[in-house]
A = this chain, B = another copy of it.
Amino acid sequence: MEFLVRTENLLPVDTSDEIREKLRAAERERAMELREAGILKRLWRVPGRNATIGLYEAVDPAALHDALTSLPMWKWMDVSVEALAAHPQERA
Complex: how many Å from CA A39 to CA B57?
A: 23
Residues of A within 8 Å of B, CB-based: how many? 44
Q: Please determine whether A1 and B47 come into contact, CB atoms closer than 8 angstroms.
A: no
Main secondary structure of the interface of A (DSSP, over half): mixed
List chain B residues, Cβ under 8 A from A79. 48-49
Residues facing B in A42-90 (CB within 8 A) are 42-49, 52-53, 55, 60-62, 64-65, 68-69, 75-76, 78-90
**Interface readout for A25-36 with B: 1 if CB under 8 Å, 0 if not?**
000100110010
> Can you name the residue of chain B whose Cβ is closest to the Cβ of A13?
B75
> Can you name the residue of chain B whose Cβ is closest to the Cβ of A83?
B83
